[in-house]
Structure 1
Amino acid sequence: MFEVIGERINTSRKLVQAAVVERDADYIIDDVKKQQEAGADFIDVNAGARIGHEKEDMQWLLKTIKPIATVSLCLDSPDPAILEMAYGMVDNPPMINSISLEKNRFDTMMPFLKGKDCKIIALCMDDAGMPASSDDIVARAKELVTRLESIGMKQDSIYIDPLVQPISTDSTKGTMVLNAVRQIKQLFPDVHITGGLSNISYGLPERKIINRTFVTLMMDAGMDSAIIDPLDSKIMAAIKTADLLLGNDNFCMSYLKGVRSGMIKS
């Protein structure tokens, strides 16, 4: 089944940052509960927007969220020191967001990841910048998987992010990433594919319909996870319906639950 990483607890969002500054636990708790009720499988926690305050903000967020979390957390920071601190605060193996092939990031993240019981989001980014072709994405995915396996990470703990790019700037960007995902899943059937989907619609009107359509195409190609807003009931309905049609929903149970809850409706 498709896994949803709830993206809402991020201090780059104005309301979340205000709640963190004011230490408004009720706001954070309410948002996390809503994400979980909507079907989030992980809650992403990012406290990086307030420069100089990330450590104490992350500590406060984790202390606030842990008692009411019914799903695993995704610890989101480019700073291994923050991640080390956060990793020590959680009870269940978390997801880590993220590593890439950019030398500075890679060289600091690998020692942190070695020996950790966690899942890892691995971005197909290197020092040359964003991938320019399907072959670029696949080559970077191969290197990430190989090097993560070398420190003991199992393939089913690796979540490759192929880096979706705007189709408004190049009409081939959609097929580029779809083709790459198919190849990655053929090479590494146990590796997961995740990432933010909304970049595909950047610069275009009526973005949500593009995002909803694109996620179903990506699921058919092999994507089995995404970093999205689970309170967007229409994209959640599209995901559950695609899981049904792709044969991932035994006895249609998840789909029927979505219909009964009112999340899925015509």
Structure 2
Amino acid sequence: MLIIGERINSTRKSIDRAVRTRDVEFIRQEATNQVNAGAHMLDVNCGTLEAQEEPAAMEWLVQTVQAAVDVPLCIDSPNYKALAAGLAVHRGKAMINSISGETERYKNVLPLVKEYGAAVVALCTDDRGIPASLDQALEVGLKLVGNLLEAGVPVDDIFFDPLVRSVATNPETVLVTLRLMEEMSARFPGLHFVSGLSNVSFGLPERRHLNRAYAVMSMASGLDAVIADPLDRTLMALIYATEALLNKDRFCMQYIRCYQEGKLKG
């Protein structure tokens, strides 16, 4: 499971303030804490800034985080100019969050994917919005992933996001998401699947329980990357345990190592 730490996101007031004031130590500590907790990659987002300010802020954010930790970054913005600014200074192979079937988004982001050889989160949406049914979602997903492959993006670099919605307002969303991942996996062997766990619980109390349950259920249907809070020790322990049960952790070696390192304690 690829753990993408979600905490460096300016929708959090503390991160917004740190980015605006260029608080190097605060950002570095957030990055270090997530990597020490088990994150393999960090999502960086400063999208609350004005559009004209965001590219410079993203450049600073990428450089600041990579000065603190030796992991790749998932550069996250709806502003393709901010994506470009972050990619230009990123060391190693980055991930772009995200591309979609929306005409303008696809046109602006695909050249960046190819220029920088980046992995990319592929959102299951197009100009009509988020699909309303499994059939429509499958149609959108097949077209988007097919187009990326045709454009020369390796399947191993594509992380398909089925865009789970809140179960509070879409009671069948998780069941549809699981079916969608299974269908897409059968059509595109080697395709990765990623999800932002917190989307499923929006508007509900004690959200962490739903996020954790969704992660475990989704791993059984092919989810192999999450954008989540690695400081949630229970979530991380459940991920390690689920990998062992799904035979993705041979002889439970990772699980045992995590126990020895004290990572399985609540």
TM above 0.5, yes or no, is yes
The SS at the match of 2:135 is: helix
Q: Distance in 1 between matches of 2:29 and 2:61?
A: 13
SS at match of 2:122: strand
Does structure 1 retain, via aligned residues, the 8 Å contact 2:178–2:221? Answer: yes
Alignment match, 1:70: 70
User: Is the Cα contact below 8 Å between 1:161 and 1:195 reproduced in 2?
Assistant: yes
| SS of match in other structure, 2:36 | helix
Which one is further off, 139-148 or 76-85?
A: 76-85
> Which position in structure 2 is the counterpart of 1:42?
41
Runs of at least 4 residues of structure 1 off by over 3 A? none
Contact 2:46 2:58 in 1 (8 A): yes
Could you say which residue in structure 2 is the equivalent of 1:210?
210
Normalising to structure 1: TM-score of the pair?
A: 0.95
- Note the alpha carbon deviations across 1:69-103, whole angstroms, 9 max, x for none: 22111111222222222212012010011001112
User: Is the 2:55–2:83 Cα contact (8 Å) retained in structure 1?
Assistant: no
Question: Is the contact made by 1:194 and 1:223 (CA closer than 8 Å) also made in structure 2?
Answer: yes
Partner of 1:80: 80
Aligned to 2:27: 28
Give the total of aligned pairs: 265
Alignment of 1:120-135 (within 5 A): 120-135=120-135
Q: Give the drift of 1:257.
A: 2.2
Structure 2 counterpart of 1:98: 98
SS in 2 for 1:240: helix
Coordinate RMSD, CA, aligned = 1.4
User: Does structure 1 residue 184 correspond to structure 2 residue 190?
Assistant: no
Deviation at 1:206, TM superposition (A): 2.1
Distance (whole Å) between structure 1 residues aligned to residue 117 and residue 17 of structure 2: 33
Q: Which amino acid aligns with 2:96?
A: I
Deviation of the 1:110 alpha carbon: 2.2
Q: TM-score, normalised by structure 2?
A: 0.95
Secondary structure class of the residue paired with 2:30: helix
Q: State the secondary structure of the residue aligned to 2:195.
A: coil
Q: Give the stretch that moved more between structures: 114-123 or 77-86.
A: 77-86
- Distance in 2 between the 1:198 and 1:65 partners? 23
Amino acid at match of 2:145: V
2:145 counterpart residue number: 145
- Alignment-mate amino acid for residue 97 of structure 2: N
Aligned equivalent of 1:58: 58
2:56 and 2:82 in contact (8 A); partners too: no
Q: Is the 8 A contact 1:6 1:43 kept in 2?
A: yes
Give the equivalent residue in structure 2 for 1:260. Answer: 260
Give aligned-pair identity as a percent: 38
Q: Corresponding residue for 1:3?
A: 2
Q: CA deviation at 1:184?
A: 0.9
Secondary structure of 2:220's match?
helix
Higher alpha-carbon deviation: 78-87 or 39-48: 78-87
What are the ranges of 5 or more consecutive residues in structure 1 without an aligned counterpart? none
Cα distance in 2, alignment partners of residues 255 and 45 from structure 1: 28
- Quick check: 242-251 or 113-122, which moved more? 113-122
Query: Following the alignment from structure 1 to structure 2, what is the Cα–Cα distance between the partners of residues 22 and 109?
Result: 29
Amino acid of the structure 1 residue aligned with 2:103: K
For structure 2, the 5+ residue unaligned runs are none
Q: Which amino acid aligns with 1:158?
A: I
- Quote the residue 1:15 is aligned against: 14
Contact 2:156 2:190 in 1 (8 A): yes
